[in-house]
Structure 1
Amino acid sequence: MKRLLITLSCALGALTASAQSTPPDDALYQALGGTPGLTKLMDDFVPRLTADPRIAEFFKETKLSELKKQLVDQFCVVSGGSCIYEGETMKNSHAEMKIRKSDFNALVEVLQQSMDQQGIPFTVQNRLLARLAPMHRDIVNTR
């Protein structure tokens, strides 16, 4: 929980626009192992999501192979890789799901468990979570 609070507080300034002439910074993507590393992470993360009693209900009607592919692409883009995310916006895909802050926090905890299991260093985890954290504004839609 402490890691979550640190990560979310760091996220406020985490996303900055790059100058168009500056090549994308893919250091985080590389630190996560590129697409193979992200795929391995999602191989661990997606089953944990469906097994966690706090959030499993959100995934019972989800085609898990498609979810995994979308997450790999999304995390690739967020971390600076050259992938293309073609899924729905976070706001559209979660609009009817009645997601609370506690649900979002549970998902983050599960992601942290998966990153720990994969041996992703704490500093790399925090960098990724800081880039993902602003999505909560589009995902959390219920008090």
Structure 2
Amino acid sequence: MTLSRNLTRLLALGTLLLAGCGTLNSASESKPNLYQQLGGESGVEAIVYDMIVRIADDERVVERFHNVDIARFQQGLETYICSVSNGPCEYTGESMQVVHAGHNYTDTEFNTIVELLIEAMEAQEVPVAAQNRLLAQLAPDYSDIVYQ
């Protein structure tokens, strides 16, 4: 009887542990990734659209976009943000270095674009922690955009 009772307890403990692991896995799976925190596809699209509108209204950078194919820029930026935020997209465009080569962007222009991105995220009510995570993902691109 003691062996049977211990076996029953062991099986019950194992079942509880497995159930607990399932609960932990479900909790970690339900935690939204950065892409989800940005609002998924519609959120990223709204952020990029809002940022483009802000660029059009900002005299510090609007001239830089005078001859830019805005639809292509919009699609590329949406895909890029989706990709770096662990969304279902794969950015297959040219590298940031190639895209920005020869434009001689300044620190001020770069910082202005970052400021407008932050304003767009705030307008879409993206949590500050998610904003910071996205900015951290994009920060390494600085050296490919601003040449010193």
For Structure 1 versus Structure 2, the TM-score category normalised by the shorter chain is 0.7 to 0.9
Match of 2:49 in 1: 43
Q: What's the TM-score, normalizing by structure 2?
A: 0.75
Which residue in 2 is equivalent to 1:63? 69
Change (3 A) 1:85 1:26: farther
- Say if 1:76 and 1:82, in contact at 8 Å, map to a contact too: yes
Structure number with bigger Rg: 2
1:130-141 → structure 2 map (5 Å cutoff): 130-141=136-147
Q: Distance in 2 between matches of 1:107 and 1:26?
A: 26
Q: Which amino acid aligns with 2:134?
A: L
CA contact (8 A) 1:77 1:85 kept: yes
Q: Does 1:128 align with 2:134?
A: yes
- Cα distance in 1, alignment partners of residues 89 and 138 from structure 2: 16
Q: 1:66 to 1:26 in 2, by over 3 A?
A: farther
Task: Report the CA distance between 1:50 and its aligned residue.
Answer: 2.3
Which residue is equivalent to 2:37? 31
TM-score, length of structure 1 as denominator length: 0.78
Unaligned runs of 5+ in 2: 1-30
Larger proportion of helix: 2
Contact in 2 for aligned 1:26/1:81 (Cα 8 Å)? no
Alignment: residue pair count: 118
Question: In structure 2, the residue corresponding to 1:48 is in which secondary structure?
Answer: helix
**What is the aligned partner in structure 2 of residue 20 from structure 1?**
none
SS in 2 for 1:39: helix
One-letter code aligned to 1:41 = I
Q: What's the offset of the Cα at 1:86?
A: 2.3
Counterpart CA distance in 1 for 2:142 and 2:56 is 20
- In 2, Cα distance between the equivalents of 1:67 and 1:80? 20
